[in-house]
Chains A and B, each alone.
Chain A
Amino acid sequence: MANSALAGQGGTMQETHPAARRAALSRAAIYLVLIVGAAAAIVPFLYTVSVSLMNLTEATGGRALPATPQWTNYVEAWRDAQFSQYFMNSVKITLISVGGALVFCALAAYAFAQMEFPGKSFLFTLLLSTLMLPEAITWVPNFITVSWLGRISPVPWINNWPALTIPFMASAFGIFLLRQFFLQIPQELWDSAQIDGSGHLRYLITVVLPLSSAAVMTLVLFGFVGAWNALAWPILVTTTADWRPISYGLLVFLDEAGALLHLQMAGAIITMLPIVVLYFFTQRHFIDGIATTGLKG
């Protein structure tokens, strides 16, 4: 925009030269700002990698780079922090909660997008209003509810998978996201599905869901990140390491490792790596999903 405006002013031959130079200069300035911004975003990560490969004296001595990379730090951190167990816990929690969320949110979103029933707009408003509630208001009641449900159901809830997964199996965000995609599916498809004798459920499974794979992918990614980041609720409902998810595990390890900065950073890298790798492979889904809904899970 700015450049075309500048180029437009340079009418005659003599003036083109300084105008072009100014354009090139402004272009260079733009790149400079962008690169500084990118450096600010990336340097803490590079620093983490560097410290995680140092030995203890280098880490506490304020060096910028390790003399020889100590790859064994990762092995040590992995072993000391019981990361294998936390990893498995988080993977299990993610699979159960995202799987449930996919089924329940898809059903509800389909009803909101494609079906007619009394009270539709009212229920949808009610649903969206739950987005307003701060998480803090649910801590006390849900903790009591969950410990209470554990006493009447066959499996305990606290320190077990139900407390960590069932409350997250349906969310206003998930329903809203899927509904937005379902609404874009042309009505003609439903008409022809009906002529083929298909009911709502079959239409949802065979036509709507495959067409909305991008939305489903976004929902899965957000569910994954959400489960990986969860901290407050796991602190409340887990007292042992049996079902403790990775974020809480890392927090415990940070306190245990104390002054062993290199191990702390190795642990941080181990925790971040799966999400960062996943992000680099699916970044378009991530960014587009957030840009279209403006919300995160």
Chain B
Amino acid sequence: MGRASILVDESGMVHYNVGGKFCVDAVPLKSWGNSLQVDSTVSQTTAIRSDLRQQIRATPGWFRSRQGRRLREMVLAYSFLAPAFAIIGLFGLFPLAFAAYESTLRGLNKIVGSYDGLGNYVKAVDNFIYILAFWMAAGLVYYAGATVTRALLERREEQTNPLPWLLPGALTAVGVALFTRFVYILLPEMLLIPSKLRGQSNTQAAFRGLVMETWWLPKVQIALWLAIVVLAVGAGWALFVNRGVPPDRRERIYFVPFFSAGISLIGGAALTWLTWTEINGAYAEALEQGEGLALWSQIVTISAGFLLLLLAWRLWNSGGDRPTNTGIAMRLFGAVALMAGGWVLIGELPRVISAGDEDWWNGLMATVFYVLGTVPIQLGLALILAALLFQKIRGQTFFRVLYFLPYVAPFVGTAAVFRIIFSNRPTAPLNSMLDLFGSEPLLWLSEPAGIFQMMAGSKLDLGPILSGPSLALVAIMIYGIWTYVGFDTVIFLAGLGAIPNELYEVADIDGAGGWAQFRHVTLPLLSPTIYFLSLYAVIGTFKAFNHIFVLRQAAALGTTDTASIVIFQAFKRDTRYGYASALAILLLIIILAITLINNRIASRRVFYG
């Protein structure tokens, strides 16, 4: 099976859900088609039907008609898929290319700005973007190499033959790249249309005329047909190779690995070229203004820091498997590498990112606080509730329905309620409870100060990170926990139900008590669920918008704005389209990185029974 990175990411979620059924093309090709007309008075027992099937197989010339039926089924299947894929393509996949393009443009509002390269990204994260871009390019190239190597290794070990797939896969990848190029040729022309209309009568007919004109531009048409021809040749070739594969070896189709390797190679090359020209441009500009620029040395230092961390991780892990002395030595070296890498990064990183957008960094920090503050508590509470509910409890359904209610109720409605509960009025519910204990009322959702800072008092200044999430953000976290505990409980209950009862019986016989059973049977078998839920919660936090948007108060001074809110404000309030797109792309990169790292850890720790 192809293990494209995104596929792996998704499968982390899906694998658990469908128990490995995901993405398997193993349904044997039906040897008889769908248009078979038989008198339905024939008794329909399976025996007779299979007999019938054999007769059909034996008919002379069946091969040709089977091909015809396969073709018809193929066309029908594509037409079934067409509407869904048109919508998802236009509103789900195309935005990715569109946002990437938009993020390289200056300009406010709908007025299309001039090309700015990585300028928006530099505005957001400063020079760190160059390092990030180089490492992503390197990662893509590495991934391509690893995929091809794996295919070749399998060829030697399992006597498969991946090589015929190399050219069609690579050609299709080139076709997709050419199609992307077509989009990037068409898009700027189309986006220019509104400004072309300025001064003319702005009617719909004039607009449509200009759209048609743009579509028939020679360079657009050439790009389109070049892409279509290459794609068609690649796909046709792949179909041709596919026909040569015997049906019992269907699982050895190497189209996807070579295709994704080709895509990553092309993407990596494009990214390298972009970064290279951007860095040279930055140097030229600095020279013009007579300033010094230390981009390259920064890139090298930061990369060295990350490499040291990676080395430390590697050494520490493999040290555990070795005999005592070597293991200890390796762990020792790992610790040294960790310290050296950490030292370099702590010394250098702040200088590299110092000119980035403060709102964006604060947004990311708020998101991280939110994750650290909600996910463990939420999962812990849910696990306790689920484990207790799973004992033969009277009214299990009743409790489950109640726990789930906060998750189902519309977010804006419940957030409105929490806005009043966490209000800063002295008579608001929480403040009147504080009054009972004789404490001063708090500002809650309007309090921008960090909670640790508030505990430490005003004598001690803890700085932005150590002072922790603002009290306003903590209030929003409490709302988040309240909403999601029920959801997690339901998923945990499903996971608990899937654990075979015999295991508990055996544990009983072995004399394991309640806690020992929970620790050694329930927890390990529940680890896929725990993994899935934590990944879901972490990614969900980076995507979270609705409830934070309702609960945020101006008085909290933006301390509650997580990543998605910052993007929304850049777009809606500041109408900086290009900048908002750049931030969204950065958010996507963060989410992909979290998923990848999570998968690496999970493949070690999670026990798939």
Q: B-contacting residues of A (Cβ < 8 Å)?
A: 1-6, 8, 30-31, 33-34, 37-38, 40-42, 44-45, 47-48, 51, 60-62, 103-105, 107-108, 110-111, 115-145, 147-148, 151-152, 166-167, 169-172, 175-176, 180, 183, 188, 191-192, 194-197, 199-200, 225, 228-229, 231-232, 235-236, 246-247, 250-251, 254, 261, 264-265, 267-269, 271-272, 275-276, 279-280, 283, 286-287, 290-295
The segment from B279-287, B314-322, B582-590 found at the interface with A is B582-590
A45 touches B238 (CB 8 A): no
CA A38 to CA B410, docked complex, whole Å:
19
Check A145–B98 contact: CB distance below 8 A: yes
Contact B410 A139 (CB under 8 A): no
A34 touching B385, Cβ below 8 Å: yes
In the complex, what's the smallest C-beta–C-beta distance from A183 to chain B, in angstroms? 7
Taking a contact as CB atoms under 8 Å apart, the answer to whether B84 and A136 are in contact is: no
Q: How far is the CA of A227 from the CA of B107 in the complex (A)?
A: 33
**What residues of chain A lie closer than 8 Å to B514, measured between beta carbons?**
1-2, 5-6
Q: Are the C-beta atoms of A228 and B389 separated by less than 8 Å?
A: no
8 Å CB contact of B413 from A127, A143, A196, A268: A268
Q: How far is the CA of A157 from the CA of B80 in the complex (A)?
A: 26
Closest residue on chain A to residue B253 by CB atoms:
A121
Q: How far is the CA of A40 from the CA of B486 in the complex (A)?
A: 11
| Residue numbers in B under 8 Å from A132 (CB-CB) | 6, 9-10, 588, 591-592, 595
Residue with the highest number of chain B CB atoms closer than 10 Å, among A61, A105, A183, A232:
A232
By Cβ-Cβ distance, the 10 closest A-B pairs, closest first, are A2-B514, A62-B427, A141-B98, A141-B95, A291-B494, A108-B84, A170-B84, A117-B77, A111-B80, A272-B413
Among listed B136-144, B295-303, B341-349, B417-425, interface-contacting one = B417-425
Q: Are B10 and A1 in contact (CB under 8 A)?
A: no
B458 at the interface (CB under 8 A from A): no
- Report whether A133 and B416 are in contact in the complex, using a CB–CB cutoff of 8 Å: no
Q: Chain B 1-13, CB within 8 Å of chain A: the 1/0 string?
A: 1101011011001
Q: Tell whether B106 is near chain A: CB-to-CB under 8 Å.
A: no
Smallest beta-carbon distance A133→chain B, Å: 7
Q: Which residue of B lies closest to A128 (CB)?
A: B10
Give the interface segment out of B41-49, B325-333, B446-454: B41-49
Alpha-carbon gap, A271 to B410, bound state (A)? 7
User: Interface on chain B toward A: helix, strand, loop, or mixed SS?
Assistant: helix
Supposing A38-B402, A136-B543 touch, asked if A275 and B410 sit within 8 A by C-beta, the answer is: yes
Q: Is the CB of B400 within 8 A of A272?
A: no
Identify the interface centre among B190, B259, B564: most chain A CB within 10 Å of its CB. Answer: B564
Q: Which of chain B's residues 328-376 have a Cβ closer than 8 Å to chain A?
A: none
Instruction: Please measure, in the bound complex, the distance between the C-alpha atom of A175 and the C-alpha atom of B532, giving whole angstroms.
Output: 20
A-B contact pairs, 15 of them (CB 8 A): A30-B388, A30-B391, A34-B385, A38-B402, A48-B417, A111-B78, A116-B74, A116-B77, A121-B2, A122-B255, A127-B85, A127-B88, A137-B95, A229-B410, A295-B13
Given contacts A51-B420, A125-B10, 19 further A-B contacts (CB under 8 A): A34-B389, A37-B381, A45-B409, A104-B84, A108-B80, A116-B77, A121-B1, A125-B23, A132-B592, A134-B564, A135-B543, A136-B543, A136-B563, A140-B581, A141-B94, A144-B110, A265-B417, A265-B420, A294-B532
Q: A117-B73, A121-B23, A167-B91 are in contact. Are A45 and B532 (CB under 8 A)?
A: no
Please name the residue on chain A nearest to B382 by beta carbon.
A37
Chain B residues near A (Cβ < 8 Å): 1-2, 4, 6-7, 9-10, 13-14, 16-18, 21, 23-25, 27, 29-30, 34-38, 40, 42, 44, 46, 49, 70, 73-74, 76-78, 80-81, 83-85, 87-88, 90-96, 98-99, 102, 110, 190-191, 204, 207-208, 211, 235, 238-239, 242, 255-256, 259, 381, 384-385, 388-389, 391, 393, 399-406, 408-414, 416-421, 425, 427-429, 432, 482, 485-487, 490-491, 493-494, 504, 508, 512-514, 517, 532, 536, 542-543, 545-546, 549-550, 563-564, 567-568, 571-572, 577, 580-581, 583-585, 587-588, 591-592, 595
Q: Of all chain B residues, which has the CB nearest A192?
A: B44
